[in-house]
Amino acid sequence: MSDIAGRPRILINGNFSDDKGDHTQRLSALDRGFQYGDGLFETLAVSDGVVNHWSLHWARLCEACERLFIPTPNEVQIRSEIDKVLAGVGKEIVKIIISRGEGVRGYAFRHVSPTRVVSAYPWPDLPKANATQGIALFECRTPIARQPALAGIKHLNRLENILARHEWNDARFAEGIMLDMEKNVIEGTMSNVFLVKDNILQTPDLSQCGVAGITRQRIMHVANEKGITLEVKEITLLQLERADEVFVCNTVIGIWPVNKINQIRFDVEEEQNPVTRLIQRAIA
Amino acid sequence: MSDIAGRPRILINGNFSDDKGDHTQRLSALDRGFQYGDGLFETLAVSDGVVNHWSLHWARLCEACERLFIPTPNEVQIRSEIDKVLAGVGKEIVKIIISRGEGVRGYAFRHVSPTRVVSAYPWPDLPKANATQGIALFECRTPIARQPALAGIKHLNRLENILARHEWNDARFAEGIMLDMEKNVIEGTMSNVFLVKDNILQTPDLSQCGVAGITRQRIMHVANEKGITLEVKEITLLQLERADEVFVCNTVIGIWPVNKINQIRFDVEEEQNPVTRLIQRAIA
List B42, B160, B175, B187, catalytic entry? B187
Position B25 scores a pLDDT of 58
Minimal Cβ distance to B21: which of A21, A95, A142 = A21
Catalytic residue among B154, B160, B203, B245: B154
Indicate the SS3 state at residue A282.
helix
Which residues are CB-neighbours of A173 under 8 A, at least 6 positions away? A135, A136, A137, A138
- Provide the residue-wise pLDDT of chain A in tens; the chain has 284 residues: 444 445 789 999 998 876 454 445 579 999 999 999 999 999 999 999 999 999 999 999 999 999 999 999 999 999 999 999 998 889 999 999 999 999 888 999 988 899 999 999 999 999 999 999 999 999 999 999 999 999 999 999 999 999 999 999 999 999 999 999 999 999 999 999 999 999 999 999 999 999 999 999 999 999 999 999 999 999 999 999 999 999 999 999 999 999 999 999 999 998 999 999 999 999 98
For residue A264, the cross-strand partners are A261
Chain B residues in contact with A110 by the CB 8 A cut-off are: 169
CATH class of B9-122: alpha beta
CA dihedral sign, ordered A228, A232, A234, A235:
positive
Residue-wise pLDDT tens digits, B33-88: 999 999 999 999 999 999 999 999 999 999 999 999 999 999 999 999 999 999 88
Of A29, A149, A159, the CB nearest to B117: A29
Domain ranges of chain B: 9-122, 129-283
Q: Of A139, A175, A187, A245, which is the active-site residue?
A: A187
Chain B residues close to A152, C-beta within 8 Å: none
**Spatial CA neighbour of A152 closest among A195, A88, A205:** A205
User: A–B: how many Cβ contacts below 8 A?
Assistant: 184
Can you list the positions of beta strands (E) in B48-83? 50-51
Q: Give the separation between CA A253 and CA B2, rounded to whole angstroms.
A: 47
Same fold, B9-122 and B129-283: no
**CA–CA separation, B188 and B178 (whole Å):** 6
DSSP 8-state code for residue B162: H
**What are the start-end ranges of the H helices in chain A?**
32-36, 54-67, 75-85, 129-133, 159-165, 214-226, 237-241, 274-283
B277, HSE (Cβ side, Cα atoms, 13 Å): 11
Q: Is A203 one of the annotated active-site residues of the chain?
A: no
225-254 in A: which are within 8 Å (CB) of B? Answer: none
Cα–Cα separations (whole angstroms), residue B34 to A100, B40, B75: 11, 12, 24
Distance from CA of B227 to the nearest CA of A (A): 35
Question: pLDDT tens across B138-170, in order?
Answer: 999 999 999 999 999 999 999 999 999 999 999
Q: How confident is the model at residue B247 (pLDDT cuts 50, 70, 90)?
A: very high
Q: Which CATH superfamily is domain B129-283 in?
A: D-amino Acid Aminotransferase, subunit A, domain 2 (3.20.10.10)
Report the 10 Å Cβ neighbour count for A15: 14
A128 touches chain B (CB under 8 A): no
**Rounded-to-integer distance, Cα B117 and Cα B11, Å:** 6
pTM, two decimals, is 0.95
Residue B19 has pLDDT above 60, yes or no: no
Find chain B residues with C-beta within 8 A of A157's C-beta. Answer: 36-37, 157-159
What mean pLDDT comes out for the span B184-202? Answer: 98
Q: In terms of residues, how long is chain A?
A: 284
Find all residues with CB under 8 Å of B221, minimum gap 6, and list them.
Answer: none
Question: H or E stretch including B173?
Answer: strand B173-179
Provide the shortest C-alpha distance from residue A226 to chain B (in Å): 33
Q: Report whether A45 contacts A93 (CB < 8 A).
A: yes
